[in-house]
Amino acid sequence: MVAQNFIRLAELTGLIQDTLDDVFEGKSFWVVADVTNHSFKPNDERHFFSLVEKAEGSSALVAKVDAVAWRTGAGKISVFEETTGQRFQNGLNVLVRVTVSYSPEYGLKLTLIDIDVNFTIGALERQKQEILARLEAECADYIQKSGDGYITRNNRLEFGLAIQKIALITSNNTAGFEDFVHTLQTNHFGFAFNIDYYFTPVQGENNSHLIRQILVDIYKSNKPYDAVVIIRGGGSQTDFLIFETFALGQIVAKYPIPIITGIGHQRNETIVDIMAHSPTKTPTKAAEYIIAHNAGFEELLLNARKLIANRSQQQIWSKMQSLDPMIANIKNYSKMCILHHKGYLEHFEKVVALMNPANILKKGFAIVYYNGKIVVNAQQLIAGEQITIAMDGARLEAIITNKTTE
């Protein structure tokens, strides 16, 4: 049998529309829900997704409504992504302001007109604090809280004198990768670097384990790396959750080679930054950090060379100083020595001259010879004996005529 009282579907949907309009028109609601079935049409800036609520402690849905964000809502989502660093994506728990509308063709729809930034920042921050607390509790051997930061095994490592052999973890052909390599290769000091590239996606929370695996591989390679560098940058300011996981924070903290990060972001440091040896803000800054470290080492070398050169100059100078008086002494004293000896000789000469009989004769003395011998004692001389008297310029033969003894 055919019921007589029926209406057309359009009449029914019209009735639904009128009823809903009566209740919801001009009203908006702040609701907490999870995002699912998300897609984004960049050309006309539209987000299509569903908002769902799950039963506590299970994945069973208790509510689900399709939703859309037109230009206004998409703009808000854009600001949200930039401010939170969190991509608007499936699984995200959000506080959104929606209007309720019904169209006969498309059914019930929520329209997103605003999204609460602080709700998500708070949630992310809570999540981050939970992970940090877990790292501190479960990895106490190599992670300890210290003031506002953390002391980890990795950030207590010391760099070698120069950083040259580098393991670079990056995604291929991104601006950040090019910035880093270009900055290192064109450094004006002319430092050379030996870089091994380990390419991996650096977006998407679910790719976190890939980075962890690469760190394991680098460690197992036993290559003598001076540092491991993790960079990401040049792209969107969103989706940093890949660097906010417990597993990655743990391996970075424990890692035996110093890790330098250059993860482009404006917000607070990620967990990887906090656990790493040397966090920097961008890939370029990471490269500059390495160059500065090496420049510091070169300066040390140059200072040492300068010091050595100066000290040697001083030493040579002081040796020259000590040589000079010695040369003077040897010169002067050897002359003096000869002079002294000359003096002695002159003295002897004078004495000899003084004692020379010829000189004595000149002074009016005479020498008496008897039998050819000089007479020094007159005892043997008696009157009548012949003697010779030698005087200056003449010899006299004489006979003694008289002798008187005194």
Partner 1 sequence: MGEQMSYEAAFEELKGIEAEIVNETATIDVLAEKIKRAADLIKYCQTKLRTAEEQVNAVIADIETA
Site for partner 1, rule CB under 8 A: 302, 305-306, 308-310, 312-313, 316, 319-320, 322-323, 326-327, 329-330, 333-334, 337-338, 340-341
Amino acid at 8: R
Residue 45 Cβ vs partner 1, minimum distance, rounded to whole Å: 58
Q: 247 vs 338, which CB is nearer to partner 1?
A: 338
Bin 18: left if φ > 0, else alpha if -120 < ψ < 50, else beta. alpha
Q: How far apart are the first and last CA of the chain?
A: 206
For residue 172, the Cα-to-chain-centroid distance in whole angstroms is: 26
Three-state SS at 109: strand
| Beta carbon of residue 288, minimum distance to partner 1 (angstroms, whole number) | 22
**Angstrom distance (rounded) from CA 74 to CA 114:** 9
Residue of 31, 34, 35, 52 whose CA lies nearest to 96: 31
Is the CB of 299 or the CB of 385 nearer to partner 1? 299
Name the minimum Å distance from CB 350 to partner 1. 20
Closest separation in Å from C-beta 232 to partner 1: 37
For tokens 């008696």, name the residue.
382
Instruction: Write the CB contacts of 149 (distance below 8 Å, at least 6 apart in sequence).
Output: 274
CB of residue 295 to partner 1, shortest distance in Å: 13
Q: How far apart are CA 320 and CA 325, in angstroms?
A: 9
Q: Which is nearer to partner 1, 302 or 389 (CB)?
A: 302
Closer to partner 1 by Cβ: residue 130 or 299: 299
Helices and strands (H, E) in the chain, number of each type: 10, 16
Identify which of residues 186 and 318 has a Cβ nearer to partner 1 in the complex: 318
Closest to partner 1 by CB, 2 or 327: 327
Query: What one-character-per-residue DSSP string does 191-237 give?
Result: ---EEEEEE----SGGGHHHHHHHHHHHHHHT---SEEEEEE-SS-S
Joined together, the tokens standing for residue 95 give 């506080």
The CB-of-141 to partner 1 minimum distance in angstroms stands at 46
Residues 89 and 77: their CA atoms lie apart, in Å, by 10
The nearest distance, CB 316 to partner 1, in angstroms, is 5
Task: Assign residue 112 a region (left: φ > 0; alpha: ψ between -120 and 50; beta: otherwise).
Answer: beta
Nearer to partner 1, 292 or 338 (CB): 338
**Which of 308/378 has CB closer to partner 1?**
308
- Compare residues 18 and 349 and give the one whose CB is closer to partner 1: 349
Q: How far apart are CA 36 and CA 243, in angstroms?
A: 23
Q: How far is the CB of 345 from partner 1 (least distance, A)?
A: 11
Distance, CA of 13 to CA of 102 (rounded, Å): 9
Q: How far apart are CA 196 and CA 1, in angstroms?
A: 80
Nearer of residues 108 and 345 to partner 1, judged by Cβ: 345
* In the complex, minimum distance from the CB of residue 302 to partner 1, in angstroms, rounded to a whole number: 6
**Least separation in angstroms between CB 315 and partner 1:** 8
